[in-house]
Amino acid sequence: MRLKSIGVSGCLVLLLFVIPTGTAFAEGLFRVGPVDPQHGFPQWYQDTTGLALELCTPQNAAELDWCAAEPPDPGSLPEVPFDNWSVEHFYYMTVAEDPATEATLELAVESTFANEETIDGDQMVFGRIRVRWDDAVPNATYRVYHPYGVFESLQADDRGRLRHTVDLGSACSPGRFDCVLAFPWGPFLTPVDANGNELPPVVGPSGKLHIAQPNNLHRVTGSPVGQNYFRVTRLQNGTETEIFTVDLFSEWIGRIVDNIPADISAQRASYTRSGDGIKLDVYATAFAGMQGRIPPNPPVPADTVQLSFFNAACGTGVGGVLTDPTGPGVILTPMNNTGNNYWGQILPDDIPASICIKDTTPGVTAPTYRQINVTDQVFITEALYSGGQLSIKATSSDSAGPPSLFYGEEELVNGEILLPMSAPPNRVTVVSEHGGSAEMLVSTTPATSTPVPPTANAGPDRTVRSADVVTLSGFGTGTSPLAYLWEQTGFGGLPPVTLSGSAQLNATFTAPFVDAPTVLTFQFTVSNSEGDAVDTISITVNPPAPPIVDHIEALSVTADQQVNITATGTDPGGHLPLTFRWTQTSGTPVVLSPNPFDGATISFTASLPVGTPSTTLQFQVVATNQLGIESAAEFTSVTINAAADTVTITQVRYRADRGRLTVTATSSIVDPGVVLTLQPYTDVDGNTVQGGPMINLGGGLYQIVLAGVTQPAAGESIRVSSSLGGSDTSPITRLDQ
């Protein structure tokens, strides 16, 4: 590779003279489209040249590579939010790579989810520029030139990796999609031919236009600083050395959309009705939009929007798309504007429920519609707090049929309401039953004009348990200063409790011990210069709740195994720690440890008489808290199973001439209680020959003789099982005599 050395000051000369003459592009992106109600992401982003790229969601399998999407089920397309939906989608992407160093520059506008899982509500979009080179000089410093500027000083790590990523929009909260408009890496780069002329788009697998074939290499245009390339230089000892310059880009993603609606917002549609008739005013805002551009067409200047409105609700077309209303008496009225503010007025015979605003800008082929409900107007003439009372006065623009007006749930009478209160709100809102509303800041008169008597609120009645610390929380209003007093007035046959903080808003006491529910009453008094206000509260004290022993699962063990059973529990009142007492309630007694059995864990060795297949032991445990209150007993069981013996068949003989089968076997456990049994088998005729218990010959030896039986079927085996679980299988030896 040829390296070119230039001085650091020469770098400035390079920056000044690499910008070619020709079209200058404005930096950044221009506009974000509306949020799609199906997947929750913006439908498109538009750059400052008018080029708009939509969210590239694959419509068929052939378009997966064109969109670089990876849905969970790629065989089922189009995608379905959010069951079969790729975590990442792109509006735009292109990559430049130096073949010699494999260094890459990636530019993208990407959609994803905040937690990398397809969860509705976590949608986010960010713009990315990423530099990656894994074979740089360790710890060396580099300068990176890209189409939107320069990374002045990037340092490789000690392994020679130069990596730098800037994501804009990822720090914004989910659902905030306009952050990407501040993305300085715009407009979108587009391919050019050998003469620098912008190339037309290509038709993708779904029939939609894309800015380029995904893997085609193209030179580009669109850099606002004239750097339609990717260049890396090394900075060392005041010298800048060019490592490489790449001006070919590939890995294209960008699906074009040219039907860009105007940015219109319906603000208000309100009527006035009197004896003279009806007047309907419509207000809206609209911002200059830019028509969607299809390369190689030049940028289209932003249009001044023209708005009009219909005196009826919008019509509805295929897929719920709003259209012109139809029907008798429908008229379209132009709106005037000053800047972005629009207004229009009609004098209808009747009040429509809704009106429809339409973008009537000349040349628009797919106009934008906005529908808004028609309401009256509410005018608040007074919101005054004086002498402990709030006075509200309001009227409606409908004087011919005055609607009911409300402040909260309170209805104004003849347009007025007077509400006593100790403190007024900052503002009031009056709502009309015809849909109108208005707000006004509250004004006041000097607060010293009329003293306000006190009010007292002791709070709602409550239920507690013995030993609980109870807080009595009062609330009082009135002209300051206020004095407070808590007093016990009902004792339930018990001594008075000790009140702490009785002269404060909040007082506390410890609930006494009771054997049955007991009601205590307390009086809360608020006093000022105007007198006293009193309220009472009842506290029902229930006996303390007993502790609770957690459920203990039953155990199944083998004889001679060490058994440990552990109890745990909780105490609703927090009177910990708990102590436990164990008792065996049934089964062969075992020796428990520790003794006495008052620990959380007991232990014993499982034992079982030989010949007994199993036995079950029952235990109960009771917990006691620090108040000495016992829990209900918790029961558990331990099933002890005999250890399986080893059964060995030593002889299986069948005498064909006598029709006699002899089977001999042994058990590894010598005990009279052990029973060996010959299991059924199949004879040569397909019949089942029943076996039976074998005779215990002593010393662990067993035998059974079956006479008058048909010879076993070919290949048939004999199985002997033990009452302790052991078993063995053996083929049959056939003797003709």
| Domain membership of residue 721 as a residue range | 647-735
DSSP string, 556-624: EEETT-EEEEE--EE-TT-----EEEEEEEESS----BSSS--SSEEEEE----TT--EEEEEEEEEEE
| The one-letter amino acid at 272 | T
With bands split at pLDDT 50, 70 and 90, how would you rate the model's confidence at 710? Answer: confident
CA-based angle 246:250:256, to the nearest 5?
130
pLDDT at 191 over 60: yes
Task: Indicate the residue among 345, 361, 376 that finishes a domain.
Answer: 376
383 and 371 housed in the same domain: no
| Res. 92 pLDDT band, cuts 50 70 90 | very high
What is the pLDDT averaged over residues 323-343? 95
Q: What is the pLDDT of residue 1?
A: 31
Residue 179 backbone phi and psi in degrees, to 5: -60, -35
> What is the distance between the alpha carbons of residues 559 and 561, in angstroms, rounded to a whole number?
5
Rounded CA gap, 589 and 602, in Å? 14
For position 323, which CATH number holds? 2.60.40
pLDDT tens, residue by residue, 287-315: 877 778 999 998 777 778 899 999 999 99
Residue 170, pLDDT score: 75
Cα–Cα distance measured from residue 26 to residue 222, given in angstroms and rounded to the nearest whole number: 9
The 10s digit of each residue's pLDDT in 23-80 is: 445 577 888 988 998 899 999 999 989 999 999 999 999 999 999 999 999 989 999 9
Same domain, 150 and 195: yes
Exposure string for 640-674, b = 16+ CB within 10 A, e = fewer:
bbbeebebebeebebeeeeeebbbbbbbebeeeeb
Please tell me the predicted confidence (pLDDT) of residue 18: 31
Q: Is residue 187 one of the residues assigned to a domain?
A: yes
Q: What is the per-residue pLDDT for 595?
A: 66
Report yes or no: 169 and 28 within 8 Å, Cβ to Cβ: no
* Total domains present in the chain: 6
- Which pLDDT score, from 0 to 100, does residue 156 have? 96
Q: What is the DSSP code (8-state) at residue 268?
A: E
**What is the predicted pLDDT for the residue at 559?**
85
226 within some domain: yes
Q: Are 295 and 421 in contact (CB under 8 A)?
A: no
Render pLDDT for 208-244 as a digit per residue (tens, 0 to 9).
999 999 999 999 999 999 999 999 999 999 999 999 9
209 and 140 in one domain? yes
For residue 157, being part of any structural domain is answered with yes
Do 440 and 567 belong together in one domain?
A: no
Do 409 and 464 lie in one domain? The reply is no
Does residue 118 share a domain with residue 12?
yes
Decide: 549 and 623 in contact? Cβ < 8 Å.
yes
Same domain for 368 and 509?
A: no
Q: Is 320 inside a domain boundary?
A: yes
Residues 703 and 700: their CA atoms lie apart, in Å, by: 10
H or E element in which residue 666 lies = strand 660-667
Judge whether 450 lies within some domain.
no
The verdict on 14 and 156 lying in the same domain is: yes
Given a contact cutoff of 8 angstroms between Cβ atoms, the answer to whether 33 and 42 are in contact is yes
pLDDT of residue 597: 65
Band the pLDDT of 186: cuts 50, 70, 90: confident
Q: What is the rounded average pLDDT for all residues in the chain?
A: 89
| Rg of the chain taking only CA atoms, in angstroms | 45
Query: Do 662 and 523 belong together in one domain?
Result: no
Residue 625 confidence (pLDDT) above 60: yes
530-549 average pLDDT score: 94
Picking from 351, 376, 401, the residue at the C-terminal end of a domain is 376
Domain boundary among 344, 376, 408: 376
Instruction: Tell whether 367 is covered by a domain.
Output: yes
Is residue 449 in some structural domain? no
Residue 367 is predicted with a pLDDT of 86
Predicted confidence (pLDDT) per residue in 20-38, tens digit: 323 445 577 888 988 998 8
Q: 133: which strand partners? A: 162
- 548-549 and 555-558: which strand pairing? unpaired
- 296: Cα separation from own chain's centroid: 43
Q: Are residues 598 and 687 in the same domain?
A: no
In a shared domain, residues 295 and 406: no
Per-residue pLDDT of 338-358, as tens digits, reads: 999 999 999 999 999 999 999
What is the amino acid identity at position 703?
Answer: Q
pLDDT band at 651, cuts 50/70/90?
very high
Q: Is there a single domain that holds both residue 21 and residue 130?
A: yes
Check which CATH number belongs to the domain holding 524 and give it. 2.60.40.10
Residues 447, 455 contacting (CB under 8 angstroms): no
The Cα 91–Cα 58 span in angstroms is 12
Q: Residue 169 falls within a domain, yes or no?
A: yes
Q: Between residues 365 and 342, which one has the greater pLDDT?
A: 342
Per-residue pLDDT of 461-510, as tens digits, reads 999 999 889 999 998 888 888 999 999 999 999 999 999 999 999 999 99
